[in-house]
Amino acid sequence: MIKLLGKFFSHDIGMDLGTANTLVYVRGRGIIINEPSVVAINKKTGQVLAIGQEAKKMVGRTPAHIVATRPLVEGVVSDFEVTEQMIRYFIDRVHEKGFSFMPRPRVIVGIPSQVTEVERRAVHDAAKNAGAREVYLIEQAMAAAIGARLPVQEALGNMVVDIGGGTSDIAMISLGGIVIDRSLRIAGDKLNDDIIQYARNEFKLLLGERTAEEIKIEVGSAIQLAEPIQTIMRGRDLVTGLPKEVVVTDTHVREALSRSIKAIISAIKAVIEETPPELLADVMKRGIVMVGGGSLLRGLDRLVAQETLMPVRLEEEPPTTVVRGTGIVLENLDQLREVLVDTGDEEPII
């Protein structure tokens, strides 16, 4: 009876459960939530103090007994209970203006393409325990291709590069399935770490994660820019322990990011090398599609085009492509069921 009522009083949800940000698509309404995947917890009481944007403001600024943490690391669940609470919070946010006192929505969640069965089950169970009536999983590369409106069910080669916060997924898709794929745990967060390490090694300067991310956004690039840009790097001097400022240019940051960028390019080339010639011919005509927040790094699309000798298209609004894909699947679940990951316990659609 409760399950039956849940069908009438719940909003079906598509969720891009990312390492850096969680985006939520509601059937018939579009994307209504885009918040950091951060949870602030009081270690003394175990109480969740804040989730999302409010929790992110606390990162690096809390007393010892309050911890602002990310429950997902490199695209997979690292803290099951906190992930469950975060998903429940977003489900409740979706239903806060409705009449449902106990929402039981159907939920589609995007996951990295090469996660283990255990990691996959952790996401499924966290969503189920958070109140979902039915949970469907979809690989993020597939969701990105659907969100980019690529003809994934046709006998055509569709190549997608999704650079998120924790993982980079590269996939060749045809006939509703992934033909070749690579999943790297090198993405936006790793680029931030690269900048932190570079500042430590080159300037003896200790940076925080948020500062590193701001520098990446302000002056980060994958290729040499026509006009140099610069910003101020602020942190703690590792020698004196006092505050210190250093002026850094795009050249410095490009040097810091170079190793990770090369690893992503190598993974893209590896997928191309393993792709059957017919599918590769399709991609040569139609191009590689780049999505995800990490693909916004200046000049990265042009570097991929130079290295692969193929046209590259940066999708409009790259950070929302995956969640838009989950939304399209949600709206057309009958026609697109074949693209979902088989978890063995999906219920029939009513």
Q: What's the CATH number where 22 sits? A: 3.30.420.40
Helix (H, G, I), strand (E, B) or coil at 320: helix
Same domain, 300 and 271: yes
Instruction: Report if residue 346 sits inside a domain.
Output: no
pLDDT tens for 125-162 read 999 998 889 999 999 999 999 999 999 999 999 999 99
| Residue 154 structure tokens | 């046709």
- In a shared domain, residues 90 and 209: no
Q: State the total domains in the chain.
A: 2
**pTM, full prediction:** 0.88
Banded model confidence at residue 349, pLDDT cuts 50, 70, 90:
very low
Q: 164 and 122 in one domain?
A: no
pLDDT at 9: 52
Q: Is residue 349 part of a domain?
A: no
Dihedral (Cα; 270, 111, 321, 144), 10-degree rounding: 40
Residue with tokens 């009536």: 133
In a domain, 347, yes or no: no
Mean pLDDT within 234-260: 95
Say yes or no: 123 and 163 in one domain: no
- Per-residue model confidence (pLDDT) at position 2: 47
Whether 32 and 54 share a structural domain = yes
CB neighbour list of residue 208: distance below 8 Å, 6 or more residues apart: 59, 60, 235
Whole domain around residue 203: which residue ranges?
Answer: 151-314
| Assigned domain for 292 exists | yes
**Neighbour order of strands in the sheet with 48-51:** 48-51, 39-42, 66-69
Which of 76-80, 81-85, 291-295: highest mean pLDDT? Answer: 291-295
Judgement on whether residues 127 and 199 belong to the same structural domain of the protein: no
Band of residue 97 on the pLDDT scale cut at 50, 70, 90: low
- DSSP H stretches of helix in 237-276: 250-274
Task: Establish if 344 belongs to a structural domain.
Answer: no
User: Residue 348: inside a domain, yes or no?
Assistant: no
Question: What is the mean predicted confidence (pLDDT) over 322-331?
Answer: 93
Which residues contact residue 190 at a Cβ distance below 8 angstroms, ignoring those fewer than 6 apart?
260
- Mean pLDDT, residues 174-198: 94
